[in-house]
Amino acid sequence: MIVFGLVILFLQLLVDAVLAQKQSQDRLREYALQIEELATLQERNRIARDIHDSLGHSLTIFNIHLEAALRLIYSEPTEAEALLLEVKQISKQSLQEVRESVMMLRADRLQGKSLFEAIAILVKEFQRTTGIIPQYKFEVFPECSFDNLSKDLSDSQKSTIYRLVQESLTNIYKHSAASEVEITIQAILKEPGKEIKVWIKDNGRGFNLNQHTCGFGLQGMKERTSAISGDLKIKTAPNQGCEIYASFPINPLS
Protein backbone atom coordinates (compact mmCIF):
# COMPACT_ATOMS: atom_id res chain seq x y z
CA MET A 1 0.00 0.00 0.00
CA ILE A 2 2.86 2.33 0.80
CA VAL A 3 4.52 1.62 -2.56
CA PHE A 4 1.18 2.04 -4.33
CA GLY A 5 0.65 5.37 -2.53
CA LEU A 6 4.12 6.54 -3.52
CA VAL A 7 3.46 5.59 -7.15
CA ILE A 8 0.17 7.51 -7.12
CA LEU A 9 1.93 10.51 -5.55
CA PHE A 10 4.72 10.33 -8.13
CA LEU A 11 2.21 10.14 -10.96
CA GLN A 12 0.27 13.09 -9.52
CA LEU A 13 3.44 15.15 -9.25
CA LEU A 14 4.39 14.17 -12.78
CA VAL A 15 0.98 15.19 -14.10
CA ASP A 16 1.18 18.48 -12.19
CA ALA A 17 4.67 19.11 -13.63
CA VAL A 18 3.49 18.37 -17.17
CA LEU A 19 0.49 20.68 -16.75
CA ALA A 20 2.66 23.40 -15.25
CA GLN A 21 5.11 23.08 -18.12
CA LYS A 22 2.28 23.31 -20.65
CA GLN A 23 0.87 26.40 -18.92
CA SER A 24 4.34 27.92 -18.85
CA GLN A 25 4.79 27.24 -22.58
CA ASP A 26 1.38 28.77 -23.28
CA ARG A 27 2.33 31.89 -21.32
CA LEU A 28 5.65 32.09 -23.12
CA ARG A 29 3.89 31.83 -26.48
CA GLU A 30 1.47 34.56 -25.37
CA TYR A 31 4.34 36.79 -24.24
CA ALA A 32 6.17 36.11 -27.51
CA LEU A 33 3.10 37.17 -29.49
CA GLN A 34 2.75 40.33 -27.40
CA ILE A 35 6.42 41.16 -27.90
CA GLU A 36 6.11 40.51 -31.63
CA GLU A 37 3.04 42.77 -31.84
CA LEU A 38 4.82 45.49 -29.87
CA ALA A 39 7.92 45.22 -32.06
CA THR A 40 5.74 45.42 -35.17
CA LEU A 41 3.96 48.49 -33.82
CA GLN A 42 7.25 50.17 -32.91
CA GLU A 43 8.65 49.43 -36.35
CA ARG A 44 5.53 50.83 -38.01
CA ASN A 45 5.86 53.99 -35.91
CA ARG A 46 9.53 54.23 -36.84
CA ILE A 47 8.74 53.93 -40.54
CA ALA A 48 5.95 56.52 -40.18
CA ARG A 49 8.36 58.93 -38.48
CA ASP A 50 11.03 58.34 -41.11
CA ILE A 51 8.61 58.91 -44.00
CA HIS A 52 7.22 62.04 -42.33
CA ASP A 53 10.63 63.46 -41.44
CA SER A 54 12.37 62.78 -44.73
CA LEU A 55 9.52 63.05 -47.24
CA GLY A 56 7.77 65.90 -45.40
CA HIS A 57 10.94 67.96 -45.32
CA SER A 58 11.78 67.21 -48.94
CA LEU A 59 8.28 68.08 -50.17
CA THR A 60 8.42 71.38 -48.27
CA ILE A 61 11.72 72.30 -49.98
CA PHE A 62 10.32 70.97 -53.26
CA ASN A 63 7.34 73.33 -53.01
CA ILE A 64 9.49 76.33 -52.03
CA HIS A 65 11.84 75.85 -54.96
CA LEU A 66 8.96 75.30 -57.38
CA GLU A 67 7.24 78.51 -56.29
CA ALA A 68 10.51 80.44 -56.62
CA ALA A 69 11.15 78.97 -60.06
CA LEU A 70 7.69 80.02 -61.26
CA ARG A 71 8.31 83.57 -60.05
CA LEU A 72 11.70 83.75 -61.78
CA ILE A 73 10.94 81.85 -64.96
CA TYR A 74 10.62 85.02 -67.10
CA SER A 75 12.75 87.54 -65.21
CA GLU A 76 15.69 85.23 -64.35
CA PRO A 77 15.38 82.04 -66.41
CA THR A 78 18.89 80.82 -65.54
CA GLU A 79 18.13 80.91 -61.80
CA ALA A 80 14.74 79.31 -62.42
CA GLU A 81 16.38 76.50 -64.36
CA ALA A 82 18.87 75.91 -61.52
CA LEU A 83 16.01 75.67 -59.03
CA LEU A 84 14.12 73.21 -61.23
CA LEU A 85 17.21 71.04 -61.56
CA GLU A 86 17.52 71.02 -57.78
CA VAL A 87 13.84 70.08 -57.49
CA LYS A 88 14.52 67.15 -59.77
CA GLN A 89 17.39 66.02 -57.57
CA ILE A 90 15.31 66.41 -54.39
CA SER A 91 12.47 64.35 -55.87
CA LYS A 92 14.90 61.62 -56.87
CA GLN A 93 16.39 61.53 -53.39
CA SER A 94 12.94 61.56 -51.74
CA LEU A 95 11.78 58.62 -53.85
CA GLN A 96 14.85 56.67 -52.78
CA GLU A 97 14.24 57.48 -49.10
CA VAL A 98 10.62 56.34 -49.33
CA ARG A 99 11.69 53.08 -50.94
CA GLU A 100 14.21 52.52 -48.17
CA SER A 101 11.64 53.21 -45.45
CA VAL A 102 9.05 50.94 -46.99
CA MET A 103 11.65 48.21 -47.32
CA MET A 104 12.52 48.83 -43.64
CA LEU A 105 16.17 49.41 -44.42
CA ARG A 106 18.20 51.54 -42.07
CA ALA A 107 19.69 54.16 -44.34
CA ASP A 108 22.51 56.50 -43.30
CA ARG A 109 20.50 59.57 -42.38
CA LEU A 110 23.59 61.75 -42.64
CA GLN A 111 24.46 60.34 -46.09
CA GLY A 112 28.10 59.75 -45.23
CA LYS A 113 28.64 63.25 -43.80
CA SER A 114 29.62 64.12 -40.26
CA LEU A 115 26.84 65.36 -37.99
CA PHE A 116 28.27 68.88 -38.05
CA GLU A 117 28.57 68.99 -41.84
CA ALA A 118 25.03 67.66 -42.26
CA ILE A 119 23.51 70.27 -39.92
CA ALA A 120 25.53 73.04 -41.58
CA ILE A 121 23.99 71.98 -44.91
CA LEU A 122 20.49 72.09 -43.35
CA VAL A 123 21.18 75.62 -42.07
CA LYS A 124 22.49 76.75 -45.46
CA GLU A 125 19.48 75.21 -47.22
CA PHE A 126 17.09 76.92 -44.80
CA GLN A 127 18.83 80.27 -45.38
CA ARG A 128 18.58 79.91 -49.13
CA THR A 129 14.91 78.99 -49.17
CA THR A 130 13.67 81.46 -46.53
CA GLY A 131 16.12 84.35 -46.56
CA ILE A 132 16.55 83.91 -42.79
CA ILE A 133 20.13 83.54 -41.57
CA PRO A 134 20.01 81.21 -38.53
CA GLN A 135 22.49 81.75 -35.70
CA TYR A 136 24.14 78.35 -35.40
CA LYS A 137 26.77 77.31 -32.88
CA PHE A 138 28.20 74.03 -31.65
CA GLU A 139 29.84 74.08 -28.21
CA VAL A 140 31.92 71.36 -26.55
CA PHE A 141 32.95 71.48 -22.86
CA PRO A 142 35.76 70.81 -22.19
CA GLU A 143 37.02 71.67 -25.65
CA CYS A 144 37.89 68.84 -27.96
CA SER A 145 37.73 68.14 -31.66
CA PHE A 146 34.42 67.30 -33.29
CA ASP A 147 35.94 64.02 -34.47
CA ASN A 148 36.59 62.96 -30.87
CA LEU A 149 33.05 63.91 -29.89
CA SER A 150 31.62 61.88 -32.79
CA LYS A 151 33.28 58.76 -31.42
CA ASP A 152 31.21 59.08 -28.25
CA LEU A 153 27.89 59.41 -30.10
CA SER A 154 25.98 56.41 -31.39
CA ASP A 155 24.42 56.45 -34.87
CA SER A 156 20.94 56.75 -33.35
CA GLN A 157 22.03 59.77 -31.30
CA LYS A 158 23.53 61.50 -34.33
CA SER A 159 20.42 60.71 -36.36
CA THR A 160 18.16 62.06 -33.61
CA ILE A 161 20.04 65.37 -33.37
CA TYR A 162 19.89 65.74 -37.14
CA ARG A 163 16.16 64.98 -37.27
CA LEU A 164 15.39 67.38 -34.42
CA VAL A 165 17.07 70.24 -36.26
CA GLN A 166 15.56 69.24 -39.61
CA GLU A 167 11.99 68.95 -38.31
CA SER A 168 12.29 72.17 -36.30
CA LEU A 169 13.46 74.15 -39.34
CA THR A 170 10.66 72.66 -41.43
CA ASN A 171 8.06 73.65 -38.80
CA ILE A 172 9.52 77.14 -38.47
CA TYR A 173 9.18 77.72 -42.21
CA LYS A 174 5.71 76.22 -42.48
CA HIS A 175 4.06 77.62 -39.36
CA SER A 176 5.99 80.25 -37.39
CA ALA A 177 6.44 83.29 -39.71
CA ALA A 178 9.70 83.88 -37.81
CA SER A 179 12.43 86.31 -38.79
CA GLU A 180 15.10 85.02 -36.36
CA VAL A 181 16.24 81.47 -35.63
CA GLU A 182 18.86 80.23 -33.17
CA ILE A 183 20.31 76.72 -33.14
CA THR A 184 22.63 75.67 -30.31
CA ILE A 185 24.11 72.22 -29.77
CA GLN A 186 26.09 71.82 -26.58
CA ALA A 187 28.10 68.78 -25.53
CA ILE A 188 29.09 68.35 -21.88
CA LEU A 189 31.89 65.78 -21.70
CA LYS A 190 32.67 65.92 -17.99
CA GLU A 191 31.98 62.87 -15.83
CA PRO A 192 29.57 62.14 -14.34
CA GLY A 193 26.66 63.07 -16.51
CA LYS A 194 28.08 63.44 -20.00
CA GLU A 195 25.25 64.77 -22.13
CA ILE A 196 24.16 66.57 -25.29
CA LYS A 197 21.80 69.56 -25.20
CA VAL A 198 19.98 70.95 -28.22
CA TRP A 199 18.08 74.24 -28.44
CA ILE A 200 16.13 75.52 -31.44
CA LYS A 201 14.50 78.93 -30.90
CA ASP A 202 12.51 81.26 -33.14
CA ASN A 203 10.72 84.59 -32.70
CA GLY A 204 7.64 83.52 -34.65
CA ARG A 205 3.96 83.50 -33.81
CA GLY A 206 4.19 80.58 -31.40
CA PHE A 207 1.12 78.59 -30.37
CA ASN A 208 -0.91 77.45 -27.38
CA LEU A 209 0.46 74.13 -26.16
CA ASN A 210 -2.79 73.28 -24.37
CA GLN A 211 -4.75 73.58 -27.60
CA HIS A 212 -2.17 72.11 -29.90
CA THR A 213 -2.57 68.46 -30.84
CA CYS A 214 0.81 66.98 -31.67
CA GLY A 215 0.97 65.57 -35.19
CA PHE A 216 3.72 63.34 -36.47
CA GLY A 217 6.19 66.28 -36.38
CA LEU A 218 6.36 67.13 -32.66
CA GLN A 219 5.28 63.65 -31.64
CA GLY A 220 8.05 62.16 -33.76
CA MET A 221 10.62 64.43 -32.10
CA LYS A 222 9.40 63.35 -28.66
CA GLU A 223 9.50 59.67 -29.57
CA ARG A 224 12.97 59.92 -31.10
CA THR A 225 14.36 61.71 -28.05
CA SER A 226 12.71 59.26 -25.66
CA ALA A 227 14.13 56.32 -27.63
CA ILE A 228 17.67 57.40 -26.70
CA SER A 229 16.75 57.98 -23.02
CA GLY A 230 16.41 61.71 -23.53
CA ASP A 231 13.93 64.41 -22.68
CA LEU A 232 12.27 66.97 -24.95
CA LYS A 233 10.50 70.13 -23.80
CA ILE A 234 8.62 72.77 -25.76
CA LYS A 235 8.26 76.32 -24.52
CA THR A 236 5.90 78.52 -26.50
CA ALA A 237 2.89 80.82 -26.33
CA PRO A 238 0.93 82.86 -28.88
CA ASN A 239 3.09 85.68 -30.30
CA GLN A 240 6.04 84.67 -28.12
CA GLY A 241 7.97 82.39 -30.44
CA CYS A 242 8.88 78.79 -29.79
CA GLU A 243 11.80 77.07 -28.08
CA ILE A 244 12.49 73.37 -28.39
CA TYR A 245 14.95 71.94 -25.89
CA ALA A 246 16.22 68.38 -25.91
CA SER A 247 18.83 66.65 -23.77
CA PHE A 248 20.09 63.11 -23.55
CA PRO A 249 23.05 61.27 -22.03
CA ILE A 250 26.16 60.46 -24.04
CA ASN A 251 26.99 56.79 -23.87
CA PRO A 252 30.60 56.22 -24.91
CA LEU A 253 30.99 53.40 -27.40
CA SER A 254 34.19 52.13 -25.74
Distance CA 163, CA 227 (A): 13
- Based on the fold, state whether residues 19 and 96 are members of the same structural domain: yes
**Taking all residues of the chain, what is their mean pLDDT, rounded to a whole number?**
78
121/101 same-domain check: no
Number of domains in the chain: 2
The number of beta carbons lying within 10 Å of the beta carbon of residue 55 is: 16
Cα dihedral sign for 195, 122, 120, 97?
A: positive
**Residues 129 and 226 reside in one and the same domain:** yes
Percent of the chain with pLDDT over 90: 15
Least confident of 37-46, 66-75, 194-203: 37-46
For the residues 138-147, what does the mean pLDDT come to?
Answer: 73
pLDDT at 248 over 70: yes
Residue 112 lies in a domain: no
Question: Are 139 and 85 part of one and the same domain?
Answer: no
H or E segment at 246? Answer: strand 242-249
* Residue 241 belongs to domain spanning: 117-254
CATH code of the domain containing 99 = 1.20.5.1930
79 with 128, same domain: the answer is: no
206 shares a domain with 153: yes
Mean pLDDT of 173-197: 87
Distance between CA atoms of residues 29 and 113, nearest Å: 44
- The yes-or-no verdict on residue 70 having pLDDT over 60 is yes
Domain boundary at 56, 80, 107, which?
A: 107
**pTM passes above 0.75:** no
Of 107, 137, 172, which closes a domain? 107
194 in any annotated domain: yes
